[in-house]
Structure 1
Amino acid sequence: MGDVAGSEARGAIGWRWVGLVFLIVVLWSLFGILTRPMGGHLAAFWPANAVLLGLFIRLPELAGPRGWSAAVLGYLAADIATGSSLDKAALLTFANLISVAACLLAFRRVPTEHVALSRPFSVPIMVGALVFGAVACGAVGTGMALRTIGIRTRQSHRCQARKPPSWASSSAGASSGK
């Protein structure tokens, strides 16, 4: 592999590292996609974000424009390769990026000794940073789920509840002696 520290001195990471970020995101995204339940559900286990976050925390120089671009292309490639439409893939990629970015922003505010887990109170602080990212992703993910997998809103349920059920008209005719 390339020398990340040397690349940082030049102001950009090497193309090998960009390729590595892309490959890691594609492979872990495919793993998450291929292990999800059938029926168009979202993945219950999605390691791609955690692995990307780990890379960006461990090697901060990867969290530049090239690294983020490689991650975007990796998420899109995995979704499109498995049959998602471009708009669905773009929405899910956006949600994934929000999750990683929110966690990364939280981790950048945490002192280095806590990231290295060298203090007794480091674990709760690290969990707090992860919870911040999870809440951000959950907020965005809720909106994305409404668009991508067609979850009905409360209003659409009310509109459907006003229509008489199909069994009501057939049973009314049967009970009236027709």
Structure 2
Amino acid sequence: MGIRIRTTWPARILGRAVPRLLLAALAGGALLLSAAPAADALTSKHPILFVHGIEGSGAQFESQAVRFESNGYAASWIDEVDYNSTRAVGDKSEVDQQIDAAIAALKQQTGKSQVDVVAHSLGTSVMYDYLTNGGMAAQRRANVAHYINVDGQNQNPGVPTL
């Protein structure tokens, strides 16, 4: 038979409570530390606008939006332009107006002065024309902090491009 050591009730309660309190304090500290990078990400980053390719839709970027959200972006910081790609080949003014409106909405929602744009395929040509052609090109470039060109045209539109 084993020897049983008799303890007082305060020792039994504290013996169980102290490890739990210590664990809770460590978990709380970790939570606070993890919130700081997420908050910093929103102060040092720009909202993101996705522009799809031919016969596509903004829904094609849904998994990327989830990825950005999991890395600290608020859902309200991510949007897409859902344009009629057959019109983008002809009269681009309607598509340009949609892009203007989407950028203005992101800037207004986030308080940021610029957005990052990710364009794919035909969307890269749409964005190139948007950023380089017409009387509003310089103003439009001023609204774009960074531009990511995925599988599309290779000319520099006058903004930092990846």
Same fold (TM over 0.5): no
The alignment's TM-score, normalised by the length of structure 1, stands at: 0.28
Look at both structures and tell me which one has the larger radius of gyration over its CA atoms: 2
Q: Which has the higher contact order (CA 8 A, sep 6+)?
A: 2
Higher strand share: 2
The alignment's TM-score, normalised by the length of structure 2, stands at: 0.30
